[in-house]
Structure 1
Amino acid sequence: MQNSEALALSAALLAAAGELTRRINDGVVARGFEGRPSYGFAFARLAPDGATVSEIGAHLGVTKQAASQLVDELVRKGYVERRPHPVDARARLIVLTEHGWECTRAAEEAAAEAVRAWADVLGEGEVRVLYDRLARIAPYGPIRPVW
């Protein structure tokens, strides 16, 4: 593959990821939830069992202070709550509230709509092949922004 082709492929993958993120966020907002894409990336780490602020920061690739600010915002909006950590008395476990789970389900619906739009263009079989190929390249995530 020539450098120019590799660059074009890189740009196409980044554009697709950006468009997918935008469509999911727009779908969440259209379903009545207030949010930013960073909320969804944090929710991906919180589901299903919660996480500490430090773990959220590591997942998002931000400082503990930045993660703490995001958690404060999510608490104010009713998406998460702080609970005592079951093992570490010094730590607090951040978990999704019912409102946070509802927002997560809205994001799942919006993601499904976005992928169905790809199937309208490529066909369902091609979308399955795309998934298989991407899963071979990046099988386990993490699902996080690249700041």
Structure 2
Amino acid sequence: MAGEIPGLLGMAFHAIMEEVHVRLAEEGFGDVRPAHGFAFQYLSVRGGATAVELGQHLGVTKQAAVQLVDELERRGYVERRPHPADRRARVVVLASRGWACVGRVVALWTEIENRWAGLVGADRLEVVRESLSAYVTAAGSPPIRPLW
């Protein structure tokens, strides 16, 4: 039925992330919230960022970004390092615990995709992947960030 795909995509994303977070909690990452994943994704792709850059990406104030970084640093997911070009700034990078969490998420996503392929067939799932990729490309490859 026309108009159902956005809702189905939203429900599928919710179901996948709910499973991922339950499994992460079972594996010792129970202090990770869904919002942290958007920060982890940004930092993992960029190799690090200032709190200001992270805040801009997440669509939050500098103060909120600093609070998030403080929280993630206390939990051992990120660390602050000197900025290579600006002595006043610090770069936030994933710490080993952050990289371990990212690795588990990728492995869990792979498990879920494999289970999905078992439900609908690998060839049909590949058509879904290609179709979503085409849409995202046509939309200008928007960033992965929360829709506050």
TM-score by length of 2: 0.88
C-alpha distance in 1 between matches for 2:123 and 2:36? 31
Matched residue, 1:27: 23
Once the 2 structures are TM-superposed, how far is the Cα of residue 70 of structure 1 from its aligned partner?
A: 0.9
Matched residue, 1:143: 144
Pick from 42, 61, 65 the counterpart of residue 63 of structure 2. Answer: 65
C-alpha distance in 2 between matches for 1:120 and 1:141? 29
2:2 is paired with a residue of what secondary structure?
helix
C-alpha distance in 1 between matches for 2:53 and 2:35? 15
Once the 2 structures are TM-superposed, how far is the Cα of residue 141 of structure 1 from its aligned partner?
A: 4.1
Larger RCO of the pair (alpha carbons < 8 Å, separation 6+): 1
- 5 Å-filtered alignment, 1:94-109, equals 94-109=92-107
TM-score by length of 1: 0.89
Provide the aligned length of Structure 1 versus Structure 2.
143
2:132 is paired with a residue of what secondary structure?
helix
Q: Report the CA distance shift for 1:91/1:75 in structure 2 as closer, same or farther (over 3 A).
A: same
Amino acid at match of 1:40: G
C-alpha distance in 1 between matches for 2:118 and 2:22? 19
- 5 Å-filtered alignment, 1:1-147, equals 5-6=2-3, 8-33=4-29, 34-48=31-45, 49-139=47-137, 140-147=141-148
Amino acid at match of 1:145: P
Conserved in 2, the CA contact under 8 Å of 1:27 and 1:106?
no
1:106 is paired with a residue of what secondary structure?
helix
What are the ranges of 5 or more consecutive residues in structure 1 without an aligned counterpart? Answer: none
What are the ranges of 5 or more consecutive residues in structure 2 without an aligned counterpart? Answer: none
C-alpha distance in 1 between matches for 2:61 and 2:73? 18
Say what the alpha-carbon RMSD is for the aligned residues: 1.5
- Residue by residue over 1:47-92, the C-alpha shift from the partner in whole angstroms, topping out at 9 and shown as x without a partner, is 1511111111122122222111111110000010111111122221
Identity of aligned residues (%): 43
